[in-house]
Amino acid sequence: MQSTLSRRIAALEPSATLTMAAKAKELKASGRKVISLSLGEPDFNTPQHICDAAVKAMQEGKTRYTVASGIPELKQAVCKFYQARHGLEYKPENITVSNGAKHCLHNVFTVLIDEGEEVIIPAPYWVSYAELVKLAGGVPVIVETRQEDDFKLTPEAFRAACTPKTKALLLCSPSNPTGSMYSGEELGALADVAIEKDLWVIADEIYENLVYSGHKFVSFPTVRPELMDRTIIINGVSKTYAMTGWRIGWTFAPAAVAKKMASLQSQETSNPCSISQYAAMAALESSQECVEQMRAEFEKRRDYVASRIAAIDGLSCGNMYGAFYAFVNIQPHLGREYGGKMIETDTDWCLELLEKKGVATVMGSAFGAPGYARLSFANSMEELKDAFDLIEEFLK
């Protein structure tokens, strides 16, 4: 019997964030104290009224298969929420509810991308983007950005990266891993290139509700009238409502694309969890006070993390206008010895920090940006203080 794996799976890289989290758990299991700044997961519990809605759904027997693309009630709630928030007139036939935003991305790439077609991805990028494009048979085209530009793609760099094989641009704002966010003017400049080149734009807007310092989030299709027919929005409840484990995300897409994603999903996973769908409805339809409370706490942590980074010689990062990450430039601290051990790369640095001080981060090379480390501040203030004290000790 042949034992070879498919080329796509053989080339697949594991998620670096989950790998570092697993290493941190191993150390914890051995009795070590570990502070994990590796996972992008709110440390808050899911708000009680959302949990209560899930219990109510179970008690009412809503535990069976649903429509593959999501229950109509949730789709209506999502449409109403987006119309009120952004003035976007979507209908239920434009929506596919999936098992989290990562599943949404898989659906989008599988439906849109043919073998060898290219997707432009600005770096730094979320670790799964390039791998999901490759799994669909596509080619990720990585475009470097600069820290002094807050790691944002310029229209000039976007245009230069386009080829006859380019099918789409993938954009994340607010960004994982950098926390940067595009203004309406910046999105409009990118939109003009996408329209000129006749490209799809896949807009990952999962962090839209976690925005700081009075900045305003702008949803991509709102900046040009022509964008509704060429934009696919990715969103969900995981980050906004501390519902990572509930696994509910959704896409907004032209109806023909949404229909194909629903067909794909019907073959692959049947439907998203029925109970989670009713919980997501409660999240969208009830008071958003819980969201503001969490957002305000994240902003305090963002301010603290920014101050600690600025106070440490040789560390720097871009502006963090949203999400809950600091993408820290550690290049001045590479190519030196730590306790007699030479550390040359960001991967070595992150592993040594974890081994010596018990602080888990994620290497920037996993996000397409060697020489950096991503730190999540979705942790208590006490843990953040302890973590930065240990990082300072490590660097000394």
The string of pLDDT tens digits covering residues 131-140 is: 999 999 999 9
Q: Which SS3 state, helix, strand or coil, does residue 313 take?
A: coil
Q: Are 53 and 376 in contact (CB under 8 A)?
A: no
Q: What is the pTM of this model?
A: 0.94
Return the pLDDT at 2. Answer: 56
Q: Which two tokens stand for residue 175?
A: 């960004």
Return the pLDDT at 21. Answer: 75
Q: Which long-range contacts (CB under 8 A, 24 or more apart) does 56-60 make?
A: 56/278, 57/274, 57/275, 57/278, 57/279, 58/275
Superfamily of domain 7-45+290-395: Aspartate Aminotransferase, domain 1 (3.90.1150.10)
**Dist CA 245 CA 227 (whole Å):** 32
Most distant CA pair in the chain: distance in Å? 63
Specify the domain boundaries for CATH 3.90.1150.10 within the chain.
7-45+290-395
Return the pLDDT at 6. Answer: 81
Return the pLDDT at 29. Answer: 81
**Residues of the chain below pLDDT 50:** 1
- Measured from the Cβ of residue 224, the count of other Cβ atoms closer than 10 Å reads 17
Specify the domain boundaries for CATH 3.40.640.10 within the chain.
48-285
CATH for 48-285 is: 3.40.640.10
Q: Are 53 and 265 in contact (CB under 8 A)?
A: no
Return the pLDDT at 3. Answer: 58
**Dist CA 89 CA 94 (whole Å):** 10
